[in-house]
A = this chain, B = another copy of it.
Amino acid sequence: MSEFVAGGGLINRRAWVKGAGMGAAASFLVPAAATEDWMTHAGQAQNAYGSPSAFSRIRRERTGGHPFAPAAGSSSTPLQKLNGTITPNSLHFERHHSGIPAIDPARHTLTIYGDVEKPIRFKYEDLLAYPMESHVYFLECSGNSFRNTFSKPADMTAGSLNGLVSSAEWSGVPVHYLLDEAGVKPGAQWVVAQGADAAAMSRSIPLQRIMDSVMVALYQNGEPIRPSQGYPMRLFVPGCEGNISIKWLTNLKVQSTPAYTRDETSKYTDLLKDGSAEMFSLEMEVKSVITSPSGKMTLNRKGVYEISGLSWSGAGAIQSVEVSADGGNTWAQAILQSDPKAYALTRFRIPWRWSGGSAVLQSRAMDVRGNIQPTRDLAIQKYSAAGLYHYNGIQSWKVTSDGRVQNVYV
């Protein structure tokens, strides 16, 4: 039986076990002697809050903003250096409209008002005693991957291009507990959320979505959320564009109509080909990206590699991911990290034998509702040339015969 599962060198894992191996490791007879410095004297003592190895050179990349306005802009998760599905809090992508406020939780409040029977004001301490839930959710900026809408492909890493998406276990109070306590009046349809940053970032969210799945998040990957993610509290709207998960949440106003705030009219609407604009397109699309091998990496030997990447959808859980190593001519099913969850990043993997020729690596995700990630051509068709949001086209990485990997349009 052939080890190949599709063209371009995609193989199955059994082939690996049967000796595809690496051929990269050295054979020898005796273990290395303990001569390295770090084996001859005691190492560093532990400290109160740990940090990564200087050798790992792991950090976010600033990918948006202007040097004259350092408080606004964005920075990306270095997807190409990560594995698994959790993003460490220090590497979660950021997008700020007016910088990171240093909020004292003792002075911060959350106010629920508008069309409610009894307006309520919560202190941080109050919320800590409420019933909580925990879920692993992705968060994606609606502008993620926007450079792939440009006419020429940018020669960038997977993180710089596609890293405005991250994942964490978020814990907090389902908003329905708070709204039920305030008593929503008949006729109410929207909730306007506002942050306590200097931009007073504000978005309108359908009441039904709020009652179904939205939380006031207080913890991220176990610890209190970081100032850069909304400390002491943020809204978290699973599956939806990042900016409606309002950081530094301070007001929830219940009303019968959207507020048409500055942040949902001047930005975060989708300009279409015919000149009209789509509003409140909140859910993020089905999407995937290969993180290794990926842009600006170099393969320095022929042989077997594991192709690995991330997939997600705002419509629910990922159903399957296919991978192509020949620019979309043939596809094979990737192995999914067990048990994909709704609104969570799902890691996919498939072994690939690189014979040294040029190749184009692609991934195509499908979610449980049957949505399939489109080609780049299809993905940009709907929008005006100025459309920057909700891009989810297939990411193509070209491997040249000298092993360099780069972003291409095919």
Contact = CB atoms under 8 A, between A and B. Distances in A.
Interface of A: 13, 16-17, 19, 21-22, 24-32, 34, 36, 38-56, 58-60, 62, 70-75, 81-92, 94, 96, 98-109, 111, 113, 118-123, 126, 129-134, 167-171, 176-177, 180-181, 196-198, 200, 218-219, 221-224, 226-228, 231-232, 248, 250-251, 253, 303-306, 308, 337, 339, 347, 349, 351
A42 to B, nearest CB: 4
B83 A218 contact: yes
Given A48-B59, A55-B231, A104-B55, A126 B24 contact: yes
A58 B83 CA distance: 26
Nearest to A45: B70
Nearest to A107: B36
A129 B304 contact: yes
B99 A42 contact: yes
B111 A32 contact: yes
Nearest to A27: B118
Nearest to A50: B90
Nearest to A13: B131
Contact of A32 (B28, B109, B177): B109
A72 B109 CA distance: 43
A340 B28 CA distance: 44
Q: Which 7 interchain pairs have the tightest Cβ spacing?
A: A43-B99, A38-B101, A48-B59, A45-B70, A42-B71, A84-B134, A84-B171
27 contacts: A16-B131, A17-B177, A19-B181, A25-B121, A25-B181, A27-B121, A28-B121, A32-B250, A36-B108, A38-B196, A38-B197, A39-B198, A43-B71, A43-B98, A46-B62, A46-B228, A48-B59, A48-B75, A52-B223, A52-B226, A55-B232, A83-B132, A84-B222, A90-B90, A131-B349, A132-B349, A339-B339
B87 A88 contact: no
B25 A122 contact: yes
A290 B228 CA distance: 30
A31 B113 contact: yes
Nearest to A94: B46
Contact of A222 (B13, B34, B73, B88): B88
Given A84-B221, A98-B43, A102-B38, A308 B132 contact: yes
Given A34-B200, A50-B89, A87-B222, 8 more contacts: A25-B122, A27-B119, A43-B198, A46-B228, A49-B91, A52-B227, A53-B231, A55-B105
A83 B220 CA distance: 8
A141 B134 CA distance: 25
A198 B49 contact: no
Contact of A169 (B84, B94, B219): B84
A197 to B, nearest CB: 6
B223 A40 contact: no
A169 B75 contact: no
Given A171-B84, A221-B88, A228 B27 contact: no
Contacts of A101: 38-39, 43-44
Nearest to A306: B131
Contact of A223 (B58, B71, B102, B351): B58
Given A36-B107, A39-B198, A43-B71, A81 B223 contact: yes
A294 to B, nearest CB: 13
A44 B83 CA distance: 29
Contacts of A87: 221-222
Contact of A306 (B98, B129, B169): B129
B84 A219 contact: yes
A86 B222 contact: yes
A264 B70 CA distance: 54
